[in-house]
Structure 1
Amino acid sequence: MATTSQPRPRVLILGGGLSGTLAAAALAPHSDSIDIVERHPLPDAAKPRRGLPQARHAHMLWSGGADAIESLLPGTMDMWLRAGAHRVPIPNGMISLSPGGWYRRCWPEAQYLISASRDLVDWAVRTQALAIPGVRLLSEAEPVRLLGTRTRVTGAAIRHRDGTVEAREADLVIDATGRSSHAPGWLTELGMPAVAETVVDAGVTYASRRYKAPVDTTGWPVINVQADARLAVAGTAGTILPIEGGEWMVSLSGTRGGEPTSDGTQFTAFARQMRSPLIADYLARAEPLGPVTVARNTANRRRHYEKARVDGFIALGDSATALNPLYGHGMSAAAQGARALRDLAANSDITSKGFARRAQRAIARPAAAAWLLAVGQDAAFLHEAGKKPKLADRLAARYVNRLITTACSDFTAVEALTDVMTLQASGVVLAHPRILLAAIRGPRLAPLSGPALTSAEEAVLLGRPVPTPTP
């Protein structure tokens, strides 16, 4: 007698960006029907797309996120690199001014980051995910409400380009619509309690611009000038990322009272008044390729879905935890969340009661680590807005600042900080006795008087021919 196979769960993913496509990769082994609903048309190349204004700003994909993406979609790393992305070793591949001083570059590689445009990062992930059998893209369609009861989500109402609205049922709905997610309101419309939310806003404004690099960007470092919250001025910072096409992506930022503007004539001037004029000096040798783009929606916003009691619904990425882009953790936290979802689904029925809540807790763990890093830094700037840090916050900040200063001349400290910053380790490692001892001991060498530049990097600043590397 022939047996009839049971139909596998239907998955509906709201949002076709990075989080949505990674969610599809995570759940593909457990579903033959995964529909991704995306409001805007998605390009079939590494090009700008509507609905992703943050793509115009610098994005660092830390090794913790890159490794997670590669585990979900093997071969993605090779796609990035073949398309012109850069694998930058850390700390030796960064020219970085921390609040404690300039980092040395003589250390061995501790971690790495992928330096590329957001368009390239998303394109490779999207291409890989949409090639999985059973994964389908519903383009130019948008969710308008959730379907279900006060205890379980059973689908979503989808409005198509022609204005028709379709009730699409699903066994599991993933919200990956980002910062502007309407899911909290949709859930309350179903009769569910309001989702608790925490917001920490340092009032950061971003201004970004692309430049034609004055040098071959192969092997070129990331240049990073960080803000120092201990100074009695607004916190200004900047980054130059080498990206594909021989270009630099440059992002400058400032907290309340020190915000950059969209005025292209003032872009380099803003960079020059930061703690070091190094970025401005390099920009003086480069050619701007377009206008300055400004972003102000940078608050840290955490929706505590892990505390909600709802089945059939999971929020991933910025829909659950949106981070200040200054620290570059958004993509990495979303990727690690998707990997956590995959690992849980490997040992659970994704339609079972309680699966969504367990998955939300698993997703929240890497997001919480990134949240603590971002909020721990941003809280120091909130004093300007009248919000005083607590004693525990001040003590923790003093310890971290001591460790950052130590890291400028101690590999034990820099390795630990790098592992935490790249989301390869939790902040708990900073309390290890070996790290505590390094912090107590403090810097082993006198601080550098300026950035540690190679002869090629100095030549660019001086407008001289770049020396040919010795084979």
Structure 2
Amino acid sequence: MAPNRGARHRVLVLGGGLSGTLAAAALAPHGGSVVIVERHTLPQTPKPRRGLPQARHAHMLWSGGADAIESLLPGTLEMLLHAGAHRISIPNGMISLSPGGWYRRCWPEAQYLISAGRDLVDWAVRSQALARPGVHLLSAAEPVRLLGTRARITGAVVRHRDGVEEALEADLVIDATGRSSRAPQWLAELGIPAVPETVVDAGVTYASRRYKAPVDTAGWPVINVQADARLPMAGTAGTILPIEGGEWMVSLSGTRGGEPTSDETQFAAFARRLRSPLIAEYLARAEPRGPVTIARNTANRRRHYEKARLNGFIALGDSSTALNPLYGHGMSAAAQGALALRDLCTGGNIAAKGFARRAQHAIARPAAAAWLLALGQDAAFPHAVGKKPGFADRLAAGYINRLITTACSDFTVVEALTDVMTLQARATVLAHPQVLLAAIRGPRLPPLGGPALTPAEEAVLLGRPAPTRPATAPPLGGPEWGEVSR
């Protein structure tokens, strides 16, 4: 469908990935025409697409991001679940080894996450966004530079597949081209001062592989062995996510000096060297589906566009704040940024002077929360490059570590940490008097000797038929339910 050139306002969204399509959904009710410019041809089904190598790795859509997507595009979560995604309760739907020990699984639901392959998530959001009136997709068109002056961005030049360049005028340009965004260069070409940038890189390398699960993945938990930044060694971690198609997406990671490789014969061996061999034990019961894929571009990079004085231009998602995928916040932070953009548009004029600056500030708030969570861990790893933790950072890290240890046996702390981790609450909730009192009191029970497993989860490890009881059914016993010494 051709763009409506007679529209009241025209918006250009550069990049047709998750951030770009969510931005289009946010602006569709307020811009007469929203044109998504994408350099590749996007699939019409949940299939891999060019330009998204991170889709081959594990992604978690935390409840803060899922709720934001549902607000922008009602019906998307139902669409995902119908297509095979899983809604997983937190904390009971996670078998998780934190730096403070194994989490118990006897609590009521605090939050949730959506577990699915990235291709499925992108397809659902894209399908919903493109169905909005006024949203149009311009495929096989690569943005090559911005139009305008130092005073205002007025559009972009795109290069079509045949090499022909076209100038597209717009009242507002959204950069959603991701980590590889060339916007800083394009802005410099217009004489706009460089945007301040902060980088913290723990040197994380990811190795991921799909497996045919040995059990029905409906009701199956996330299995997560976290790194411990307090240890004087490289941080290694691993995750098993149940996804669509009866598969597990397995991602292993290591910081600088402890990276995994693409060697298929070493994948399970690396998993066995984590702080617990639990993931390796489950992989021994599963069937590999495809090769091991590697990702190394995982640095935390924040371009502080909120400090710039730009008109007619907004950066969203990884273009402004790219996060280490280890914490799974990229999709959720982008979704909350798009939601903030939509809320600011209500009753406002997107072409008005100063709108873009206000929008960039609104987008920066949820991104900053995810940024602080990532930096609190990554800056502490050995050989991390970038901003070093100061006294206040170390003091805050000590408090967080106390909370993490206490959370292994205290629901007040579990709930607060979960609300922050899922981006449903700001970090200030961790200073609530009840949380402070719990931290002072410390763990109320001795640490678990191993993961809390249901009979179905234990049966898989033992090679037995799984009981009919759902894997995440609430326990009938006390806080030691499901404890297995390993």
Q: TM-score, normalised by structure 2?
A: 0.95
The answer to whether the 8 A contact 1:153-1:173 is kept is: yes
- CA shift, 1:230, in A, is 1.2
Which blocks of at least 5 consecutive residues in structure 2 are unaligned? 1-5, 474-486
The answer to whether the 8 A contact 2:322-2:330 is kept is: yes
The answer to whether the 8 A contact 2:233-2:382 is kept is: no
Task: Give me the CA root mean square deviation.
Answer: 1.2
Q: Tell me whether 1:183 sits opposite 2:189 in the alignment.
A: no
Map of 2:95 onto structure 1: 95
SS at match of 1:30: coil
CA distance in 1, matches of 2:32, 2:397: 48
CA distance in 2, matches of 1:241, 1:384: 27
The answer to whether the 8 A contact 2:90-2:111 is kept is: yes
The answer to whether the 8 A contact 2:111-2:422 is kept is: yes
The answer to whether the 8 A contact 1:382-1:388 is kept is: no
CA distance in 2, matches of 1:316, 1:210: 30
Of stretches 17-26 and 390-399 in structure 1, the one that deviates more from structure 2 is 390-399
After superposition, residues 235-254 of structure 1 pair within 5 angstroms as 235-254=235-254
Q: Which amino acid is 1:351 matched to?
A: A
- CA shift, 1:33, in A, is 1.0
After superposition, residues 44-443 of structure 1 pair within 5 angstroms as 44-382=44-382, 388-443=388-443
- CA shift, 1:124, in A, is 0.3
The answer to whether the 8 A contact 1:201-1:382 is kept is: no
- CA shift, 1:383, in A, is 5.2
The answer to whether the 8 A contact 2:199-2:386 is kept is: no
- CA shift, 1:389, in A, is 2.7
Question: Residues 213 and 158 of structure 1: is their aligned pair in 2 closer, same or farther, counting only changes over 3 Å?
Answer: same
CA distance in 2, matches of 1:375, 1:235: 14
Q: Which amino acid is 2:364 matched to?
A: A
SS at match of 1:256: coil
Q: How many residues align?
A: 466
CA distance in 1, matches of 2:183, 2:326: 26
CA distance in 1, matches of 2:426, 2:152: 33
- CA shift, 1:8, in A, is 1.3
The answer to whether the 8 A contact 2:7-2:33 is kept is: no
1:198-231 CA deviation, whole Å, 9 max, x = no partner? 0010110000000000000000000000001111
Map of 2:481 onto structure 1: none
Map of 1:3 onto structure 2: none
Map of 2:476 onto structure 1: none
- CA shift, 1:393, in A, is 1.3
Which blocks of at least 5 consecutive residues in structure 1 are unaligned? 1-5
Map of 2:479 onto structure 1: none
SS at match of 2:291: coil
The answer to whether the 8 A contact 1:405-1:443 is kept is: yes
Q: TM-score, normalised by structure 1?
A: 0.98
CA distance in 1, matches of 2:384, 2:65: 32
- CA shift, 1:469, in A, is 2.1
- CA shift, 1:369, in A, is 0.2
- CA shift, 1:45, in A, is 0.5
CA distance in 2, matches of 1:395, 1:341: 34
The answer to whether the 8 A contact 2:88-2:112 is kept is: yes
Q: Which amino acid is 1:99 matched to?
A: P
The answer to whether the 8 A contact 2:256-2:383 is kept is: no
- CA shift, 1:32, in A, is 2.3
Identity of aligned residues (%): 83
The answer to whether the 8 A contact 1:207-1:261 is kept is: yes
Runs of 4+ in 1 over 3 A off after TM superposition: 382-388
Q: Which amino acid is 1:216 matched to?
A: D
CA distance in 2, matches of 1:35, 1:207: 35
Q: Which amino acid is 2:406 matched to?
A: T
CA distance in 2, matches of 1:222, 1:382: 27
The answer to whether the 8 A contact 1:155-1:170 is kept is: yes
Question: Residues 384 and 39 of structure 1: is their aligned pair in 2 closer, same or farther, counting only changes over 3 Å?
Answer: closer
1:131-173 CA deviation, whole Å, 9 max, x = no partner? 1111110111110000001110000001001110001100000
Q: Which amino acid is 1:90 matched to?
A: I
Q: Which amino acid is 1:310 matched to?
A: L
